[in-house]
């Protein structure tokens, strides 16, 4: 059973997936989990595989959601993405990292896609 925070996160990911499809993305996988970390959404956009992190905020108290992806989170997503590409034999495919930022203000929901939000990051 999901708690309130998990339900909010899940609804944000659902909204993000719908928004991405309306903008030409084809959803390949959701909540891809590896020992390195999780990728919220994996999609195709044009000739690229896109690894997408979804960030949702109810308030602006902690800033805009697009700024909430730390260097550590980028590293975990990068390692999970490399693992996905290796396991699916797609090392030769162009890939990028996008962020879908969802924020609620005055009972209005804003959804923004930030393409190429960060570069491959790993140590």
- pLDDT (0 to 100) of residue 61: 56
Q: What average pLDDT does the segment 72-98 reach?
A: 95
Nearest in space to 65 (alpha carbons), one of 15, 25, 27 = 15
Q: What is the pLDDT of residues 54-74, one digit of tens each?
A: 998 765 655 666 767 889 999
* Percent of all residues in the chain with a pLDDT value above 70, rounded to a whole number: 85
pTM given for the model: 0.89
How many whole angstroms separate alpha carbon 121 and alpha carbon 103? Answer: 26
Which CATH architecture group holds 4-118? 3-Layer(aba) Sandwich (3.40)
**CB-based contact 47:94 (threshold 8 Å):** yes
Eight-class DSSP state of 4: H
Q: Does 36 score more than 80 pLDDT?
A: yes
Strand order in the sheet with 48-57: 26-33, 38-45, 48-57, 94-105, 108-118
How many whole angstroms separate alpha carbon 103 and alpha carbon 55? Answer: 8
- pLDDT (0 to 100) of residue 7: 63
Eight-class DSSP state of 47: T
- pLDDT (0 to 100) of residue 86: 95
Mean pLDDT score across all residues of the chain = 88
Strand partners, 54: 100
Assign 25 a pLDDT band (cuts: 50, 70, 90): very high
């Amino acid at each position: 059973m999901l708690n309130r925070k998990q339900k909010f996160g899940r609804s944000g990911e659902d909204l993000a997936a719908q928004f991405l499809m309306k903008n030409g993305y084809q959803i390949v996988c959701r909540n891809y989990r590896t020992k390195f970390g999780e990728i919220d959404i994996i999609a195709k956009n044009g000739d690229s595989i896109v690894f997408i992190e979804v960030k949702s905020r109810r308030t602006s108290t902690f800033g805009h959601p697009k700024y909430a992806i730390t260097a550590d989170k980028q590293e975990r997503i990068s390692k999970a993405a490399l693992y996905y590409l290796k396991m699916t034999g797609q090392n030769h495919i162009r890939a990028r990292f996008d962020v879908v930022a969802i924020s609620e203000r005055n009972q209005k929901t804003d959804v923004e896609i930030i393409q190429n939000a960060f570069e491959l990051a790993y140590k």
